[in-house]
Chains A and B, each alone.
Chain A
Amino acid sequence: AQTVTQSQPEMSVQEAETVTLSCTYDTSENNYYLFWYKQPPSRQMILVIRQEAYKQQNATENRFSVNFQKAAKSFSLKISDSQLGDTAMYFCAFISAGGTSYGKLTFGQGTILTVHP
């Protein structure tokens, strides 16, 4: 079974600073996709960034970038120039492209990020 672990229940950062959220996962599959989703308070979940496991290059999306270490099964999210609107719960998620868990989207426990002015 695939699992996703986020070891930081809460993080905080000052506005304009950089913060990194951690995520590790466990799978026996070689082909899969990884995501970071953002869930603002009382608002719906939205996709922040996506990484294909077969790509060595780390994905970037404006102020958001990932550090994907396939051998270590690690997938961290870096937020640069943090803004007050980044305050949210962040979820790491995994979807397998093969095996018995094909297409099952699994989430971690989440990290609450607070950006302070």
Chain B
Amino acid sequence: EAEVAQSPRYKITEKSQAVAFWCDPISGHATLYWYRQILGQGPELLVQFQDESVVDDSQLPKDRFSAERLKGVDSTLKIQPAELGDSAMYLCASSLQVLTEAFFGQGTRLTVV
């Protein structure tokens, strides 16, 4: 069964360091989402791609976060420099098209120390 792949599963980094997360969506899925989920809360959308284009990054802290999906397939989310408040689960999801079911990866648990 096709799944959304994310790596790494866990990441511990020091404050002010750079960190990157990778997501490989289900093959053929045009829409890709990155969410941040603080423990015990709902996911917050950071960025949404349609193919290689960003369609929503209004909640992305652009001074330190960046995201790309160069060939419209896999995607990378980067934080530089990381801050203590960035500790959270980072979830990637994909859907065949906008408005269809979103499938989630297992997430990357980030701890900033």
- Residues in A whose Cβ lies below 8 Å from that of B55: 103
Q: Does A64 make an interface contact (CB < 8 A)?
A: no
Q: Does B105 make an interface contact (CB < 8 A)?
A: yes
Number of A-B contacts (CB under 8 A): 51
How many chain-A residues does the 8 Å CB contact rule pick out? 23
- Residues in B whose Cβ lies below 8 Å from that of A47: 101-103
Q: Does B106 make an interface contact (CB < 8 A)?
A: yes
- Residues in B whose Cβ lies below 8 Å from that of A84: none
Main DSSP-derived SS at the B contact region: strand
What interface size band does chain B fall in?
Answer: 20 to 34
Tell me whether A110 and B41 are in contact (CB under 8 A): yes
Q: Does A20 make an interface contact (CB < 8 A)?
A: no
- Residues in B whose Cβ lies below 8 Å from that of A63: none
Tell me, in angstroms, the Cα distance from A103 to B91 when the chains sit together: 18
Q: Does B56 make an interface contact (CB < 8 A)?
A: yes
> B11-19, B42-50, B67-75, B76-84: which one contacts chain A?
B42-50
Q: Which residues of A contact B (CB under 8 A)?
A: 4, 6, 33, 35, 37, 43-47, 50, 91, 95, 97, 102-110
Q: Which residues of B contact A (CB under 8 A)?
A: 31, 33, 35, 40-45, 48, 50, 55-56, 91, 93, 98-99, 101-107
